């Protein structure tokens, strides 16, 4: 204790007395409950709390502190066999960690973060070209595939949207093609006037080209354009028009193609402004953010008008546009992009999950229905303003005829998806959807490990660390011979290594709670080899459950954490970047407002769109908060 008294004395000079007391309480807590297993003498789980720097110093250490926070909040630590702290003691330490991770802003968002200049994804390009030119199909299929954002991110993550040489090579060819296919009213073409002699001359043609570009560019570049920008493109028209056998129309279409190759079209550019403060976006920039967030395409005329009259600079103007846009069929793309990538069900089309050559009944149409179910589910929540807690558990499903038969439901006759009430607890919520259960299965069987990891990572935002190297995979049956032992017995042998057991104690129980579902998400009462199912799970906290009904009840008890995950994922999708430390206060504020409004789905969209990082941008001259702010030193408790 002697070695920390000088530090506490120094802290008293710069911190409020309450903060010093919180620091002292945290030190005492760690000394009493943690150092036995997490010190320089013994680093269980590779955690040494005597050497771990304070939260808020580096992202790598912050990840460790997040794990410590989770273990305390979820009552995983101290282990059940050890003396347990009171709930007040737990809450005090968790609150201290939160304050350190939040930084100086605390509960008030102050840093909107940095968003890299955002290139249109292939989906956004296709939809923008369709709305701009009336051209159907998927012209962006000629481009290289977009890089996936990875766990917790999306393919619209601007940091992953590179501009490769092959993209630039193909961009002009695609631009020329779509301009050639465009509907003439969509191009805003102005016919050349005739001179006094009744002839069309190069002079009248150039005036027509200028008028055409002046009308077309604001729509193509999604903002007002300057006269100088129009004149720059006109120079290209002039050069083309001077060539032999090149008509006025050909010259103008070439100029239009150049406009669609410009960074002003390919990128969603937001202008920097002088000063050092955070910068509010212009109404046109907000119109673009809203449109690509909800529709994955360019703003429509109503959004352009709202930007022009300045109403998008006010919260009530944004709220009015959100209500209108969510009611538009184009908002279906939000549910499709968000759910398919968050849940991972889009990957079923890439061959992940069950192997149709091994698992009987896995057809192409069933796979499509599996992918579609969560999309329809979220689309209905957004349109009807339902409760997002239904993502955890509810008494209904959205199914088509084939999926209804797959679930053992009757009475569904229509070809499309319809809402069906279920009352036995077997279905309802994300974890019982066939697509989720399939993507978390092995090619030939279920996988409690993958399913448990999915729950931790995608619902609770507590991803386990990667497995240690050189750990052999679980033995699989060969040549038609059955496996030796039940799946649980084989997993217990597999995780005998102490380096594996810590994580598997968190992962496996959650996955076994879903063993009533086979690799395709069909309900079953026997295992893959006809064995009696073992669906009992016991978490490190001592909580026990049996089967999916009780698993969903357990998840319902972690509703706040799951709703935080939903907010983090939606904010990340809306911003086109990952969630950073400085976003913690924004996430917490959105969760608070969402809870106050009974977790209505439209409230989530509204709160995200009204948030500081959505409506403002960091000035390039401002350094990130984490790099400029000194943080309270980490508690190094006395032994």
Contact 128, 55 (CB under 8 A): no
Could you tell me which residues are beta bridge partners of residue 269?
A: none
Residues 36 and 154 in one domain: no
Say which DSSP state 537 is in: E
- Could you tell me which of 215, 228, 226, 128 has the C-alpha nearest to residue 178? 128
Count structural domains, the chain: 3
Over range 69-86, report the average pLDDT. 84
Residue 451 forms part of a structural domain: yes
Residues 129 and 93 in one domain: no
Say which DSSP state 455 is in: I
Residue 624 forms part of a structural domain: no
Tokens representing residue 250 in the block:
């050909």
472 pLDDT above the threshold of 60: yes
- Give the distance, in angstroms, between the CA of residue 205 and the centroid of all CA atoms in the same chain: 49
Residues 96 and 210 in one domain: no
Torsion angles phi and psi, residue 87, rounded to 5: -65, -35
DSSP SS3 for 73: helix
Residues 122 and 17 in one domain: no
pLDDT score, position 603: 98
Which pLDDT tens digit goes with each residue over 491-519?
776 666 665 666 777 888 899 999 999 99
Tokens representing residue 310 in the block:
């300045």
Range in 52-61, 195-204, 219-228 the model is least confident about: 52-61
343 pLDDT above the threshold of 90: yes
Domain boundary among 48, 68, 102: 102
Could you tell me which residues are beta bridge partners of residue 268?
A: 118
Does 293 sit behind a cis peptide bond, omega within 30 degrees of 0 on the bond before it? no
Residues 133 and 178 in one domain: yes
Cα gap 399→101, rounded to integer Å: 42
Residue 362: domain span: 336-464+487-556
Residue 63 forms part of a structural domain: yes
Residues 385 and 531 in one domain: yes
Cα gap 410→401, rounded to integer Å: 9
Residues 373 and 516 in one domain: yes
422 pLDDT above the threshold of 60: yes
Residues 137 and 94 in one domain: no
Residue 470 forms part of a structural domain: no
Tokens representing residue 279 in the block:
């910068």
Q: Give, in order, the Cα–Cα distances in Å from 360 to each of 140, 357, 450, 527, 591.
A: 36, 7, 21, 15, 43
- The pLDDT-based confidence of 99 (bands split at 50, 70, 90) is confident
Residue 302 forms part of a structural domain: no
Residues 223 and 250 in one domain: yes
Cα gap 369→346, rounded to integer Å: 11
Contact 448, 508 (CB under 8 A): yes
Count CB-CB contacts under 10 A for residue 125: 25
Over range 432-441, report the average pLDDT. 98
Residue 286 forms part of a structural domain: no
Cα gap 145→149, rounded to integer Å: 12
Residues 255 and 399 in one domain: no
Contact 574, 293 (CB under 8 A): yes
Residue 45 forms part of a structural domain: yes
Residue 527 forms part of a structural domain: yes
Over range 218-237, report the average pLDDT. 97
Contact 574, 255 (CB under 8 A): no
Domain boundary among 556, 571, 587: 556
Domain boundary among 268, 290, 310: 268
Average pLDDT score over the chain? 87
- The pLDDT-based confidence of 362 (bands split at 50, 70, 90) is very high
Could you tell me which residues are beta bridge partners of residue 118?
A: 268
List, in order, residues 6 or more apart from 31 with CB less than 8 Å away: 637, 638, 639
Which pTM value belongs to this model?
0.87
Residues 341 and 416 in one domain: yes
Residues 43 and 188 in one domain: no
DSSP 404-452: HHHHT-----SSS-EEEE--SSSS-SGGG-HHHHHHTS-SSS--HHHHH
């Amino acid at each position: 204790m002697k070695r920390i008294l000088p530090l506490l004395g120094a802290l008293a000079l710069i911190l409020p007395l309450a903060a010093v007391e919180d620091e002292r309480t945290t030190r005492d807590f760690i000394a009493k409950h943690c150092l036995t297993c997490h010190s320089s003498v013994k680093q269980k789980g590779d955690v040494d709390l005597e050497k771990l720097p304070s939260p808020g110093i580096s992202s790598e250490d912050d990840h460790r502190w997040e794990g410590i926070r989770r273990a305390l909040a979820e009552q995983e630590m101290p282990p059940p066999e050890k003396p347990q702290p009171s709930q007040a003691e737990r809450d005090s330490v968790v609150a201290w960690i939160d304050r350190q991770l939040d930084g100086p802003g605390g509960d008030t968002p102050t840093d909107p973060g940095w968003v890299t200049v955002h290139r249109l994804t292939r989906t956004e390009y296709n939809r923008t070209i369709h709305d701009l030119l009336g051209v159907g199909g998927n012209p962006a299929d000629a481009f290289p595939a977009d890089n996936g954002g990875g766990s917790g991110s999306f393919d619209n993550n601007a940091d992953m949207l590179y501009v490769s040489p092959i993209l630039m090579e193909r961009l002009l060819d695609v631009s020329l093609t779509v301009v050639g296919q465009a509907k003439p009213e969509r191009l805003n073409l102005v016919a050349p006037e005739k001179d006094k002699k009744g002839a069309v001359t190069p002079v009248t043609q150039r005036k027509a080209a200028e008028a055409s570009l002046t009308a077309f560019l604001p729509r193509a570049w999604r903002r007002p354009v300057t006269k100088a920008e129009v004149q720059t493109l006109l120079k290209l028209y002039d050069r083309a028009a001077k060539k032999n056998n090149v008509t006025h129309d050909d010259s103008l279409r070439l100029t239009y193609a150049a406009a669609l190759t410009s960074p002003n079209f390919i990128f969603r550019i937001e202008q920097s402004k002088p000063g050092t403060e955070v910068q509010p976006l212009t109404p046109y920039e907000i119109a673009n953010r809203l449109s690509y967030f909800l529709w994955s395409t360019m703003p429509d005329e109503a959004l352009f008008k709202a930007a022009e009259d300045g109403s998008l600079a006010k919260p009530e103007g944004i709220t009015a546009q959100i209500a209108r846009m969510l009611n538009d069929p184009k908002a279906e793309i939000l549910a499709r992009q968000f759910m398919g990538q968050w849940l991972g069900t889009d990957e079923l089309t890439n061959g992940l999950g069950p192997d149709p050559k091994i698992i009987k009944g896995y057809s192409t149409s069933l796979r499509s229905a599996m992918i579609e179910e969560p999309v329809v589910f979220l689309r209905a929540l957004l349109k009807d303003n339902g409760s997002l807690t239904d993502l955890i558990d509810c008494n209904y499903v959205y199914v088509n005829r084939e999926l209804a038969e797959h679930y053992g439901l009757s009475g569904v006759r229509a070809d499309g998806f319809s809402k069906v009430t279920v009352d036995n607890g077997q279905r309802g919520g994300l974890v019982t959807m066939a697509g989720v259960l399939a993507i978390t299965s092995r090619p030939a069987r279920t996988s409690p490990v993958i399913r448990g990891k999915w729950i931790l990572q995608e619902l609770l935002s507590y991803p386990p660390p990667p497995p240690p190297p050189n750990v052999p995979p679980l033995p699989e049956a060969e040549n038609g011979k059955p496996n030796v032992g039940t799946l649980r017995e084989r997993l217990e042998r597999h995780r005998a290594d102490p380096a594996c057991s810590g994580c598997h104690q968190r992962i496996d129980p959650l996955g076994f709670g879903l063993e009533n579902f086979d690799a395709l998400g069909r309900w079953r009462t026997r295992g893959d080899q006809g064995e009696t199912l073992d669906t009992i799970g016991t978490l490190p906290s001592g909580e026990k459950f049996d089967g999916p009904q009780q698993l969903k009840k357990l998840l319902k008890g972690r509703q706040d954490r799951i709703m935080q995950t939903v907010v983090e994922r939606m904010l990340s999708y809306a911003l086109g970047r990952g969630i950073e430390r400085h976003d913690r206060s924004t996430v917490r504020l959105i969760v608070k407002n969402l809870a106050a409004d009974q977790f209505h789905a439209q409230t989530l969209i509204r709160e995200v769109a009204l948030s500081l990082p959505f409506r403002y941008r960091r000035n390039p001259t401002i350094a990130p908060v984490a790099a400029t702010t000194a943080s309270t030193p980490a508690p190094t408790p006395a032994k």
